[in-house]
Copies of this chain bind each other. A is one copy, B any other.
Amino acid sequence: MTVEIWFEFASTYSYLTVSRAEAACEAAGVAIEWKPFLLGPVFHAKGLSTSPFVLDPIKGAYMWRDVERRAARFGLPFQRPDIFPANGLNAARIMTATLDQPWCGEFARAVFQAQFVRGEDISQFETLAAALQACGVEPEPWLDQAQSDAVKATLRQRTETAQTRGLFGAPSFLVQGELFWGDDRLEDAIAWARAHPS
Shortest Cβ gap from A161 to chain B (Å): 14
Q: How many copies does the complex hold?
A: 2
Instruction: Check: A188 CB closer than 8 A to any chain B CB.
Output: yes
A163-198 toward B: CB 8 Å interface, digit per residue (1/0)?
Answer: 000101000000000011110110010000000000
Q: Which residue numbers of A lie inside 8 Å of B, CB to CB?
A: 46, 56, 58-59, 61-62, 65-66, 69, 73, 166, 168, 179-182, 184-185, 188
Contact of A179 with B62 in the complex, beta carbons under 8 Å: yes
| A58 CB contact (under 8 Å) in B56, B168, B184 | B168
Contact of B168 with A59 in the complex, beta carbons under 8 Å: yes
Contact of A56 with B181 in the complex, beta carbons under 8 Å: no
A65–B166 Cα distance when bound, in Å, is 12
| A61 CB contact (under 8 Å) in B46, B166, B184, B188 | B166
Shortest Cβ gap from A42 to chain B (Å): 9
Contact of B181 with A184 in the complex, beta carbons under 8 Å: no
Contact of A62 with B166 in the complex, beta carbons under 8 Å: yes
Contact of A56 with B46 in the complex, beta carbons under 8 Å: yes
A58–B65 Cα distance when bound, in Å, is 27
Closest to A172 in B: B62
| A62 CB contact (under 8 Å) in B59, B69, B181, B188 | B181
